[in-house]
């Protein structure tokens, strides 16, 4: 796997992991009643997801142009991080709302 592709994949992993962690922090903040902090964490989470999506889009664009992407364990791990982060963010948004309307 070429170095540039590895860097893009690592961007997916890092940003996906950061997004998931920030989503969880939003839940913890809402649990203690700090909804302003929870919303700030969700905003940071969304920013990390945007960065992860940019990395993913870069890989997809290159593959659509004929530059094949090697499907490695690292790539699978990166996609797993991203999908989990999106799921946790969606759930965190709902949980924050539940705490807020409690």
Domain 1-101, second-level architecture: Up-down Bundle (1.20)
The pLDDT of residue 5 is above 90: no
Q: Hey, what are 58's tokens?
A: 């870069």
* Catalytic status, residue 54: no
What does pTM read for this prediction? 0.90
**Calpha distance 40→42 (Å, rounded):** 5
Q: What is the DSSP letter of 67?
A: -
CB distance 85 to 19 below 8 Å:
yes
Q: What's the pLDDT at 1?
A: 56
Summarised one tens digit per residue, pLDDT across range 41-87 is 999 999 999 999 999 998 889 889 998 888 899 999 999 999 999 99
90 annotated binding-site participant: no
The pLDDT of residue 88 is above 90: yes
């Amino acid at each position: 796997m070429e170095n540039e592709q590895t860097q893009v994949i690592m961007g997916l992993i890092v940003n996906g992991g950061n997004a998931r962690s920030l989503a969880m922090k939003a839940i913890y903040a809402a649990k203690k009643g700090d909804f302003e902090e929870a919303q700030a964490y969700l905003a940071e989470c969304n920013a990390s997801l945007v960065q992860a999506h940019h990395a993913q889009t870069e890989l997809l664009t290159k593959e659509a142009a004929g530059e094949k992407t090697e499907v490695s364990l690292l790539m699978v791990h990166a996609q797993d991080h991203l999908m989990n982060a999106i799921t946790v963010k969606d759930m965190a948004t709902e949980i924050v709302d539940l705490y807020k309307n409690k």
